[in-house]
Structure 1
């Protein structure tokens, strides 16, 4: 890839000539509009226009995937046409955007989802030259830093989720965190719906939680990473991050879609804490196969803001994503954004996870460089939270050694209990 251009790959659906639509798309997001304007010279177009690099014709549909007022006004829906799908690769000049993340996002998506010439459009992939990627923020902790902070090596981080938004006070949340630390977890995160509620103000919650984390670290030497959810307006996020750091914390969590690129960039440049990127709301951008973003493109943009962890959901989980999509998402986060770079972020598996989903996860990714978070899989274990954590540690140790869970359960009672208890519920 040339260092002066980046490339976006799109899936489109149209009843028109895909080649003509590709040129409309390229012009719309660079130097063109529906007609040539004053001052728009051939030289300007040559310098600033996006270029269609390739067009791959795919399947043909009998009906459009999405409504389209522009086509209705022109009577196109009444012509009996068929709806061609195609994959387009379009390159853009780096000089059009430079290191401006909101403008980069607008350039590769923006008004394209509203184009009258398409009845479906999805940004499938975003590829950047290394020199351009390095103009943006890198993760300050990433995989290596997260492991160093938690002291965990050779296996996944075992984590869980607490939900102070259900009514727990700050002090009650702190007590629960103390119990989870004693149970042996490596990582604890707030629920994304828990921000700064009246019953547990964030500044009180940070202090109450970190008192237990520090006590545990002093007794055992182990630092438990807690991702405090600090999504807010930018100045408040910086204040919250400062308090977490003052109290000896190592991580904050932000809801990416609702904070925005600029807020995450500002937070990244303000703090050295690990930033746990939560993707809640991504389903609205991705569930329709001919609209929105693939995870590869989505996570590329967010990684340019400097996050250290990215949620990918979990295998055999409770959400709509297929296992194949979860696996691909994990591989995306573990891959460099450009050849030769070391900028991978740690994938966070969650939702419906327990010891029984460990083998599928291991077979899919074949790396311990991940967070494996279980709520019920830890807290609802019949032997209690410590047994729940032990069952996950035993399951991961087994798969990494090439053992089956049943074989390992013969000498690991916590795993045996988990298989018997949660296995019946999953059946």
Structure 2
């Protein structure tokens, strides 16, 4: 028996659950809407998807999604399907079509969410995963302990090249570890990519020569394949140590090809994640989704942040971060670095550390740094002190007694 792909779902259906499960399995493998003579028992046994588990959780009176079959009751279930690896081979784009393709559109389906994914070792052989991950990122930034203290250049768009470089100067002289472009900052008229990279890296390199500390800057090179390769090469030539890409914008092939070309860590932004995840009755959980992107080569993955400005719960954020730190498979761990962002300050440090159980992360704060009354350097220092306190198990107020920057920050981190 060959290796198999396993995917788990939350399913809601107005049909008999067992029949609906078989319809889904057929649609996503050898079957179609009518029985065909060519789908022989031997072919189905070889290539058909299998219903591995089906458990009815409860029954409701109304469907979650419109447009499906009409019924008096709708069953909500746990469903696990499996496919023979031989159907698609170790191919991430074709895996996506198999586990998350037409099944969402079936009439029998009034709700469906992909909750887990287990892949055969052949995927770990075919895809290299992160080139740098946590260890490589720490080596490039020379941050061996604690989180990387980071920020996002704001405003998102509208700053000139000179204004951007000025912000970066404030940050690097203030001791920041990590800086990233906003996902909306790409190659616009006000701040062209090439000019931005050259100006920013002059500041970063000059500061590194003076202090010995070189901040990592993730430049957003999201674009067509040739654009991304060329932009990567410019960042590398200017002494940069990271590039950033928006995953849903460039797709699996885009990330895979960038990974093949890149000599730098790939900072992966999940812009658009809400349209895949926000409805609990439709889409993806983060755990299976991020596994695919780590295989394709993401070194850092955004997971939102505690008490964030978006709709995601703290429990979901921590589950996402833990999934990024969990091996993809025993033979190929491919651990990436979770990135916490969205309305973050030092107030979330202790809870983040306690919930995650480690500090292998990038903690980015925008307003929490730039808004410090004593300036950017004090904002960086305050966030760093908050993490010193978190790891030591010391209350922020106690840590603030020996840190004026933190003490002042507590007055505006609200």
Contact conserved, 1:195 with 1:229, CA < 8 A, in 2? Answer: yes
Cα distance in structure 2, aligned partners of 1:130 and 1:408: 47
Contact conserved, 2:178 with 2:216, CA < 8 A, in 1? Answer: yes
Structure 2 residue corresponding to 1:254, chosen from 245, 253, 257: 245
Cα distance in structure 2, aligned partners of 1:16 and 1:176: 58
> How far does the alpha carbon of each residue in 1:365-385 deviate from its partner, in whole angstroms, 9 at most, with x for none?
011100000001100011211
Contact conserved, 2:150 with 2:363, CA < 8 A, in 1? Answer: yes
Q: Does 1:285 align with 2:276?
A: yes
User: How far apart are residue 284 of structure 1 and its match?
Assistant: 0.5
| Matched position secondary structure for 1:383 | coil
Cα distance in structure 2, aligned partners of 1:295 and 1:48: 28
Contact conserved, 1:97 with 1:103, CA < 8 A, in 2? Answer: yes
Residue 50 (structure 1) aligns with: 49
> How far does the alpha carbon of each residue in 1:92-142 deviate from its partner, in whole angstroms, 9 at most, with x for none?
111111122111111001111101101001111111133433322310010
Contact conserved, 1:395 with 1:405, CA < 8 A, in 2? Answer: yes
Residue 217 (structure 1) aligns with: 208
Cα distance in structure 1, aligned partners of 2:4 and 2:146: 39
Residue 112 (structure 1) aligns with: 103
TM-score, normalization by structure 2: 0.97
Cα distance in structure 1, aligned partners of 2:128 and 2:336: 13
Moved more, 222-231 or 156-165: 156-165
Residue 146 (structure 1) aligns with: 137
Contact conserved, 1:171 with 1:208, CA < 8 A, in 2? Answer: yes
Alignment of 1:355-394 (within 5 A): 355-394=346-385
Residue 63 (structure 1) aligns with: 62
Moved more, 383-392 or 319-328: 383-392
| Matched position secondary structure for 2:180 | strand
User: How far apart are residue 312 of structure 1 and its match?
Assistant: 0.3
Residue 12 (structure 1) aligns with: 11
User: How far apart are residue 3 of structure 1 and its match?
Assistant: 6.5
Q: Does 1:304 align with 2:303?
A: no
Residue 80 (structure 2) aligns with: 89
User: How far apart are residue 40 of structure 1 and its match?
Assistant: 2.1
Contiguous gaps of at least 5 residues in structure 2? none
Residue 387 (structure 2) aligns with: 396
Contiguous gaps of at least 5 residues in structure 1? none
Contact conserved, 1:253 with 1:276, CA < 8 A, in 2? Answer: yes
Alignment of 1:300-379 (within 5 A): 300-379=291-370
Residue 147 (structure 2) aligns with: 156
Moved more, 311-320 or 2-11: 2-11
> How far does the alpha carbon of each residue in 1:206-246 deviate from its partner, in whole angstroms, 9 at most, with x for none?
11111111111111111211000011111101100010001
Residue 184 (structure 2) aligns with: 193
Cα distance in structure 1, aligned partners of 2:291 and 2:152: 26
User: How far apart are residue 38 of structure 1 and its match?
Assistant: 4.7
User: How far apart are residue 340 of structure 1 and its match?
Assistant: 4.6
Cα distance in structure 1, aligned partners of 2:293 and 2:181: 20
* Consecutive aligned runs of 4 or more in structure 1 exceeding 4 Å deviation: none
Residue 415 (structure 1) aligns with: 406
Cα distance in structure 2, aligned partners of 1:165 and 1:316: 21
Contact conserved, 1:165 with 1:197, CA < 8 A, in 2? Answer: no
Q: Does 1:24 align with 2:23?
A: yes
Count matched residues.
414
When residues 418 and 259 of structure 1 are mapped into structure 2, their CA distance, relative to the original with a 3 A threshold, is same
Contact conserved, 1:164 with 1:200, CA < 8 A, in 2? Answer: no
User: How far apart are residue 55 of structure 1 and its match?
Assistant: 0.7
Structure 2 residue corresponding to 1:125, chosen from 102, 116, 120: 116
> How far does the alpha carbon of each residue in 1:58-104 deviate from its partner, in whole angstroms, 9 at most, with x for none?
12212111101x42xxxx24xxx111100101111111111221111
Residue 228 (structure 1) aligns with: 219
| Matched position secondary structure for 1:113 | helix
Contact conserved, 1:164 with 1:173, CA < 8 A, in 2? Answer: no
> How far does the alpha carbon of each residue in 1:140-196 deviate from its partner, in whole angstroms, 9 at most, with x for none?
010100000000011000000003653211122112112110011100000001110
Query: How well do the aligned residues superpose, as a CA RMSD in angstroms?
Result: 1.3
Cα distance in structure 2, aligned partners of 1:247 and 1:366: 36
Cα distance in structure 1, aligned partners of 2:35 and 2:158: 59
Residue 237 (structure 1) aligns with: 228
